[in-house]
Amino acid sequence: MFNLNDIIRPNVLKMKAYSSARDEFKGSASVFLDANENNLGSLAGENYNRYPDPHQKKLKACIAEIKGVLPEQIFLGNGSDEAIDLLFRMVCRPGQDSMLHLPPTYGMYEVSANLNDVTLEAVQLTEDFQVPVEEVLINVKPTTRMIFICSPNNPTGNLIEPESISEILRAFKGLVVVDEAYIDFADARSWTARLNEFPNLVVLQTFSKAWGMAGLRLGLAFASQEIISVLDKIKPPYNINEATQELALQALERGEALKDMVEEIVQERELLMEALPGMPSIEHVYPSDANFILVKVKDPNGMYNYLLEKGIVVRNRSSLPGCEGCLRISVGTLEENQQLLKAISEF
Residues 65 and 214 sit within 8 Å (Cβ to Cβ):
no
Q: Residue of minimal CB distance from ligand PLP?
A: 79
Q: Which of 56, 80, 291, 316 binds ligand PLP (CB under 6 A)?
A: 80
Q: Which of 116, 94, 104, 102 is nearest to 168 (CA)?
A: 102
Under the binding rule (CB under 6 A), the answer on residue 206 touching ligand PLP is yes
In angstroms, rounded to a whole number, what is the distance separating the alpha carbons of residues 21 and 314?
Answer: 46
Q: Which of 73, 112, 190, 208 binds ligand PLP (CB under 6 A)?
A: 208
Shortest distance, position 118 Cβ to ligand PLP, whole Å:
18
Degrees to nearest 5, angle at CA 288 with 198 and 186: 45
- CB-wise, 52 or 219, nearer to ligand PLP? 219
Shortest distance, position 6 Cβ to ligand PLP, whole Å:
27
Backbone angles phi, psi at 154, to 5 degrees: -105, 125
- CB-wise, 22 or 217, nearer to ligand PLP? 217
- CB-wise, 192 or 206, nearer to ligand PLP? 206
- Helices 57-67 and 242-253, interaxial angle, to 10°? 30
Q: Could you give the residue ranges of the DSSP H alpha helices within the chain?
A: 4-7, 10-14, 21-24, 57-67, 80-91, 108-115, 133-138, 162-171, 225-234, 242-253, 256-275, 300-309, 334-346
Give the x/- contact pattern for ligand PLP in 100-139, rule: CB under 6 A.
------x---------------------------------
Under the binding rule (CB under 6 A), the answer on residue 244 touching ligand PLP is no
- CB-wise, 213 or 279, nearer to ligand PLP? 213
Residues 179 and 209 sit within 8 Å (Cβ to Cβ):
no
Residues 290 and 185 sit within 8 Å (Cβ to Cβ):
yes
Q: Which stretch binds ligand PLP (CB under 6 A): 42-50, 79-87, 240-248, 309-317?
A: 79-87
In angstroms, rounded to a whole number, what is the distance separating the alpha carbons of residues 144 and 68?
Answer: 31
Shortest distance, position 235 Cβ to ligand PLP, whole Å:
14
Q: Which of 97, 121, 179, 268 binds ligand PLP (CB under 6 A)?
A: 179
Question: H-helix or E-strand containing 100?
Answer: strand 98-101
Shortest distance, position 119 Cβ to ligand PLP, whole Å:
21
In angstroms, rounded to a whole number, what is the distance separating the alpha carbons of residues 130 and 153?
Answer: 9
Q: Which of 9, 62, 81, 185 binds ligand PLP (CB under 6 A)?
A: 81
Under the binding rule (CB under 6 A), the answer on residue 76 touching ligand PLP is no
CA distances from 230 to 74, 75, 90, 308 (A): 11, 10, 7, 45
- CB-wise, 156 or 337, nearer to ligand PLP? 156
Nearby residues of 23 by Cβ (< 8 Å), 6 or more positions away: 54
Q: Which stretch binds ligand PLP (CB under 6 A): 64-72, 75-83, 129-137, 251-259?
A: 75-83
In angstroms, rounded to a whole number, what is the distance separating the alpha carbons of residues 197 and 14?
Answer: 28
Shortest distance, position 12 Cβ to ligand PLP, whole Å:
22
Residues 138-177 touching ligand PLP, rule: CB under 6 A, are: 150, 154
Dihedral sign of CA atoms 141, 80, 103, 321 in order: negative
Shortest distance, position 80 Cβ to ligand PLP, whole Å:
4
* Sites of contact with ligand PLP (CB under 6 A): 79-81, 106, 150, 154, 179, 181, 206, 208, 214, 219
